[in-house]
Amino acid sequence: MHEQFNFAIEVLGTFSFAMSGSFAAMQKRLDPFGVLIIAFVTAVGGGTVRDLLLDIPVFWMHDLLTCAVIIITSIFSMIFKSLEKNIKVTLFIFDSFGLGLFTIIGIQKGLHADIHPLICIGLGTITGCFGGIIRDILLNRIPLIFRKEIYATACIVGGAIFLLLVNYTTLSYTFVQIFTILLIVAIRTFAVKYQWQIPKFYGHDHSSEM
């Protein structure tokens, strides 16, 4: 049961980030091949960096199902776009769920590799964020993680609570997974709705004097 649920999380995470990448690419008016490429790097980018850091086989290179999910999702998103009027909201929803799902996957991979729990939170954040970073760089945008929105912070808070609940409560593991995923989504949603921000650095722009 536990393995089946982890499998469901991975598939849903891949679907969510592939949708996020597809809609972001369509916002930039890319052609279908461009949409597929952006969907692919968004869905596998974070997990690829994680697996390279853990020195284990990169997950999608031995799993045709992941590639199939991304391709099918990309085609679906291109069809769905003709029916979807508010693409920005749709992009936000899928990106938030992908963030929550992949953060938990990354933490679990770290724990399975006997990595220190604090480092596992970092791995979860990398898994959740790096696909979006690569997506935004390819689309010539400043990545969300570097902007005013609460993004990586949601992963860190959710990851810390996940580990606390797993280690210091008797709650079922599946419940903790679901709760933490929804918590990360909720933090992202409320942060955007109520404009929660981390303080930014301001400095004099010397380039204007050149």
Q: Where do the domains of the chain lie?
A: 2-193
Structure tokens at 161: 């609570």
The pLDDT of residue 200: 63
SS3 content of the chain, % helix, strand, coil (to 5): 80, 0, 20
Global pTM?
Answer: 0.86
pLDDT higher than 60, residue 51: yes
The yes-or-no verdict on residue 143 having pLDDT over 70 is: yes
**Does pLDDT of 173 surpass 70?**
yes
Q: What is the mean pLDDT of the chain?
A: 88
Segment 118-123 shows an average pLDDT of 95
Above 60 in pLDDT, residue 21?
yes
Predicted local confidence at residue 152, as pLDDT: 86
Q: Does the pLDDT of residue 75 top 80, yes or no?
A: yes
Q: What is the average per-residue pLDDT within 64-75?
A: 94
The predicted pLDDT at position 22 comes to: 93
Arithmetic mean of pLDDT, 33-42: 96
Per residue in 88-111, pLDDT tens? 787 888 889 999 999 999 999 999
pLDDT higher for 6 or 135? 135
- The residue-averaged pLDDT of 60-89 equals 85
Contact (Cβ atoms closer than 8 angstroms) between residue 163 and residue 180: no
Query: Buried b / exposed e across 46-73, counting CB within 10 Å, b at 16+?
Result: bbbbbbebbeeeebbeeeeebeebbeeb
